[in-house]
Structure 1
Amino acid sequence: MFFFSREETRIHVHVAHPNGEAKFWLTPSLHLAVNIGLSKMQIYQAQAVVEAHIKEIQDAWHRHFGC
């Protein structure tokens, strides 16, 4: 999982996989923003990982951007 600095202001995270990549918005609620090459099962699994670590992701975002 990773995010790009200055890509957009809405809290989001990218999830990389050998078959592709997904982008999830975390606000106002967890939502798939982009899927490139991942199956429905891979998206489901990626979303489960994001959900399991949502607080850590949000904390990292706030530390990085100072908000």
Structure 2
Amino acid sequence: MPTALRIGAYRFYFYSHDCGEPRHMHVDRENRSAKFWLDPDVSLAENHGYSRQELRTIERIIRDHRERLCNEWDAFCRGDTGTS
């Protein structure tokens, strides 16, 4: 389960078997978890325990780091290293 980003108490990751799905990230903190789609725009797919306010914070973090998160997904799932 590749971790793409850690910010504060949040861990942004995906499962290796997720590569058959559209790009997305799981976000965990303590016993809470959420899943956000990255394409075509950042949107909440699932929520398990986060408040609406915290979901907005997480969405903002994802938007701020979307390019990096997409690059991490692509590098792992598509073997795209970003080099020619």
Q: TM-score scaled to structure 2, two decimals? A: 0.73
Q: Which has the larger radius of gyration?
A: 2
Gaps of 5+ in 2: 1-11
Q: CA deviation at 1:65?
A: 1.1
Write the distance in 2 (CA, Å) between the matches of 1:9 and 1:19: 24
Quote the residue 2:74 is aligned against: 62
Question: How many residues are matched?
Answer: 67
Could you list the runs of 4 or more consecutive aligned residues of structure 1 that deviate by over 6 angstroms after TM superposition?
none
SS for the counterpart of 1:23 is strand
Gaps of 5+ in 1: none
Give 1 or 2: higher strand fraction: 2
Write the distance in 1 (CA, Å) between the matches of 2:22 and 2:59: 17
Write the distance in 2 (CA, Å) between the matches of 1:19 and 1:3: 17
Quote the residue 1:4 is aligned against: 15
